[in-house]
Amino acid sequence: MTTASASASGPVPGHGGRGASGPATVTATDLSLRFGGTRALDGVSLRLSHGVTGLLGPNGAGKTTLLRVLATAVPPDGGRFTALGHDPGTPSGRLALRRTLGYLPQNPGFHPDFTAFDFVDYVAILKELTDRTARLGEVRRVLEAVDLSEVRGKRLKRLSGGMRQRVALAAALVGDPGFLVLDEPTVGLDPEQRMRFRELIAQAGEGRTVLLSTHQTEDVAMLCHRVVVLARGRVRFEGAPAELTARAAGRVWSSAERDPNALAGWRTGMGAFRNVGDPPKGADLVEPTLEDGYLLVLDGDDAAVGA
Amino acid sequence: MTWHVSEDDLRLYAQGELAPPLLWSADAHLTGCAPCRARLAETADPVALDAAWERLDAELDAPRPSTVERLLVRLGVADHTARLLAATPVLRRSWLLSVLFLLVMTVLAVRMVGQPMLFLALAPLLPLAGVALSYGPSLDPTYEMAVVAPLHGFRLLMIRTVAVLTAGLVCNGAATLALPGYGLLAVAWLLPALALTGTGLALSTRLGSVLAPSLVGGGWLALLAVGELQTRTHETLAPFTAAGQAAAAGVAAVAALLLYQGRDRFDARPLGGFRDGGAV
Ligand SMILES: Nc1ncnc2c1ncn2[C@@H]1O[C@H](COP(=O)(O)OP(=O)(O)OP(=O)(O)O)[C@@H](O)[C@H]1O
Ligand SMILES: [Mg+2]
């Protein structure tokens, strides 16, 4: 396969060097897509490399649209991208990319009468695994990876929402794809499963390119070596999570009363108010988090905050 | 237990070369029959045997295929193709039952009125609707995953079309048998059915999987209505005359050609939006 050639020559991003990113495996330039009057993507350019990249953004920011474009589910109106050396603008490039792609849609649909095993098997067939023995082995492997071997024979309509989410992730993992596109994979999971998922996704990010959208800044802080913030179809930030956190350095303070000048402020469990914005003189500055940085990045776009 | 796996099958099994449905029978049998497992252990060389055990193990995890799938495999369909077919929404029992119900009602009505037009008008619409609904975002809940999968969209479409068309034609055929009094006229739905289905599919890459068949179905009904106005009573409606049948055959052929020529479009962009897509 030619897929690895783009990256094989460069340094492999080490586990310790989360901020550092290797050579680009996915490069998008000026992607745009409109739905009627809505610019869902408005000139998005970004570079992904091996490892897990997080995509943050408020509701309606265009995350799902961007992931669909990168997963070849819809072609963009404008702009182009290449992934793992393939150009999905051409039929052969698109096919080659699809052969090495794993995609978890935001609302994965199911055939309710299928069992978990049937469903993953079905996706494996869509992914051209026609040899029965190899296919069954692969289905077993991914079901085990998401810890669902026990319920593989249960019908999907009898599984809980979180279990179905795991079945969908298993389907995305079929065939060990080099490029994984996951739309809100941790939504609806209990904390224990969320941790397992993160482990699993981090593992998948070793030597592969993973792009995941999420509303959970913790997902990004714990998992991602890079983060992209999208709002109103535009990239507001692209860099290491630490850089995003650093955006809030000196801009988070605590006070006894809500500070009217703060962009955002809320009472914490400890009783004091935590404020984000431009602190007054002598404010009691506190350590910023990734979420603070995220809120500040969105601040340039008032309507985006809490939209 | 009266039946045991034959020596030949056992050897093929150990080599991993036994094909379904024999494979499934062998699997099912081997899990329950210790003597046959012992014979298997003797038959095979150790390396092949390990592989066979592993395979048996994997096979045990796989749920038994549904009746439809087993039937298809027995008819010579590859097991992976059978699974793709089993995922066709309109081939589910509830759908087939509603189609049968509709046909029974129509046949009864035709017998009461003594006039086959109602049946001839309806019969071509059923395969059109069935095929339109079996591929695309409207009824296939996993369409988004199918789109990004390397399997060609056109191939999946054709697999399902053949199956749905067969099911639809069989249903229609059964209904035709229930109307013996009309001779050849009672099968005059066949060519229009192919023409409508072909045209609906050929247009779906441009108009989407809902609008295209709706327009085609609407066009068909309009054609019949116009025909009805222009024909005197007790004369056959235009589409069911010899000339009309020839025209339907022509349309079916042209539509099939256009569909085939545009086959790559099914991979290029989805037919219409996705379920739950953004604000839709
Ligand atoms: N198929 C569509 N037709 C029309 N508008 C759409 C379609 N898909 C998305 N949009 C619009 O594009 C914009 C971006 O939507 P998108 O689903 O990409 O947002 P998102 O960031 O994934 O949001 P969320 O966090 O709620 O999942 C929204 O304004 C949405 O209304
Ligand atoms: Mg979304």
CATH of the domain at A209: 3.40.50.300
Q: Which of A49-58, A188-197, A278-287, B31-40 has the highest mean pLDDT?
A: A49-58
- Residue at which a domain ends, from A224, A245, A266: A245
Cβ burial of A270 (10 Å; 0-12, 13-18, 19+) is exposed
A110 in the Ramachandran plot: left (φ > 0), alpha (ψ -120 to 50) or beta?
Answer: beta
Ligand 1 pocket, B278 CB below 6 A?
A: yes
Count of the separate structural domains present in chain A: 2
pLDDT at A235 over 90: yes
**Position A304 in a domain:** no
**Position A2 in a domain:** no
Instruction: Identify which of B63, B92, B274 has the shortest CB distance to residue A118.
Output: B63
Q: Which residue has 């109307």 as its token pair? A: B179
Ligand 1 pocket: which of B147, B269, B271, B280 to mutate (most atoms <8 Å of CB)?
A: B280
More confident residue, B7 or A171: A171
Query: Which of these, B79, B88, B95, lies nearest to B21 by C-alpha position?
Result: B79
| Ligand 1 center to A57 CA (angstroms) | 12
Report the pLDDT averaged over residues A190-195.
87
pLDDT at A307 over 60: no
**Position A3 in a domain:** no
Report the pLDDT averaged over residues A153-168.
88
A92 and A200 in a single domain? The answer is yes
Return the residue in A65, A133, A141, A181 with the most chain B beta carbons within 10 A, the one to mutate for interface testing: A133
Quote the pLDDT of residue B18: 79
Quote the pLDDT of residue B47: 65
B256 Cα to chain A: minimum distance (Å) = 22
For residue A213, the Cα-to-chain-centroid distance in whole angstroms is 3
Task: Report pTM.
Answer: 0.82
pLDDT at A18 over 50: no
Alpha-helix residue ranges (DSSP H) falling in chain A? 5-8, 63-70, 91-98, 116-126, 132-145, 161-173, 191-204, 217-223, 241-246, 290-299
Quote the pLDDT of residue A13: 39
Q: Flag if A111 and B275 touch (Cβ within 8 Å).
A: no
CB atoms within 10 A of CB B204: 26
What's the order of all strands across the beta sheet hosting A24-35?
A: A38-49, A24-35, A78-83
**Position A276 in a domain:** yes
Q: Flag if A118 and B83 touch (Cβ within 8 Å).
A: yes
Question: By residue range, what is the domain housing residue A284?
Answer: 247-298
Q: Flag if A123 and B149 touch (Cβ within 8 Å).
A: yes
Task: Report helix, strand or coil for B73.
Answer: helix
**Position A307 in a domain:** no
Q: Phi, psi at residue A105, to the nearest 5°?
A: -70, 160
Distance CA B249, CA B194 (A): 8
Q: Flag if A136 and B148 touch (Cβ within 8 Å).
A: no
Return the residue in B61, B69, B275 with the most chain A beta carbons within 10 A, the one to mutate for interface testing: B61
Distance CA B82, CA B68 (A): 8
A170 and A193 in a single domain? The answer is yes
How confident is the prediction along chain B (280 residues), in pLDDT tens digits per residue? 467 888 888 888 877 777 777 877 787 787 778 888 888 777 766 666 666 666 666 666 666 677 778 888 888 888 888 888 877 766 666 677 777 777 888 888 877 777 788 888 888 898 888 888 787 777 778 888 999 999 998 998 888 888 888 888 888 888 888 887 777 788 888 899 999 999 999 998 888 888 899 999 999 999 988 888 877 666 778 888 888 899 999 999 999 999 999 888 888 888 876 654 433 3
A68 and A173 in a single domain? The answer is yes
**Tokens coding A220:** 């990004």
Q: Which residue of A has its CA nearest to B89?
A: A111
Q: Which residue of B has its CA nearest to A67?
A: B148
DSSP-derived pairing of the beta strands A209-213 and A179-183: parallel
Cβ burial of B238 (10 Å; 0-12, 13-18, 19+) is middle
pLDDT at A230 over 90: yes
Quote the pLDDT of residue B54: 67
A284 and A172 in a single domain? The answer is no
Asked if A114 contacts A158 with a C-beta cutoff of 8 angstroms, the reply is: no
Asked if B127 contacts B121 with a C-beta cutoff of 8 angstroms, the reply is: no
Lowest mean pLDDT among A181-190, A224-233, A296-305, B259-268: A296-305
**H or E segment to which residue B42 belongs:** helix B34-43
**Position A5 in a domain:** no
Quote the pLDDT of residue A95: 94
Ligand 1 pocket, B276 CB below 6 A?
A: no
Q: Which long-range contacts (CB under 8 A, 24 or more apart) does B101-106 make?
A: B102/B126, B103/B171, B103/B172, B103/B174, B103/B175, B104/B175, B106/B175
Distance CA A19, CA A245 (A): 12
A42 and A171 in a single domain? The answer is yes
Amino acid letter, A9: S
State yes or no: ipTM above 0.85: no
A120 and A260 in a single domain? The answer is no
Report the pLDDT averaged over residues A202-222.
92
pLDDT at A173 over 60: yes
Quote the pLDDT of residue A181: 96
DSSP line for A250-289:
T-EEEESS--TT-SEEEE-TTSSEEEESSPPTT-EE----
A256 and A225 in a single domain? The answer is no
Report the pLDDT averaged over residues A257-285.
84
Ligand 1 pocket: which of A31, A32, A34, A38 to mutate (most atoms <8 Å of CB)?
A: A38
A206 and A264 in a single domain? The answer is no
B22 Cα to chain A: minimum distance (Å) = 14
**Position A138 in a domain:** yes
Cβ neighbours of A157 in B, within 8 Å = none
**Position A305 in a domain:** no
Report the pLDDT averaged over residues A187-208.
88
Closest residue by CA, ligand 1 atom 7: B278
Q: Flag if A136 and B59 touch (Cβ within 8 Å).
A: yes
A273 and A240 in a single domain? The answer is no
A53 and A161 in a single domain? The answer is yes
Task: Report helix, strand or coil for A53.
Answer: strand
Amino acid letter, B266: F
A150 and A33 in a single domain? The answer is yes
Q: Flag if B20 and A132 touch (Cβ within 8 Å).
A: yes
Report the pLDDT averaged over residues A83-109.
93
A252 and A177 in a single domain? The answer is no
Distance CA A176, CA A4 (A): 13
Ligand 1 pocket: which of A65, A183, A212 to mutate (most atoms <8 Å of CB)?
A: A65
Instruction: Identify which of A38, A94, A106 has the shortest CB distance to residue B267.
Output: A94
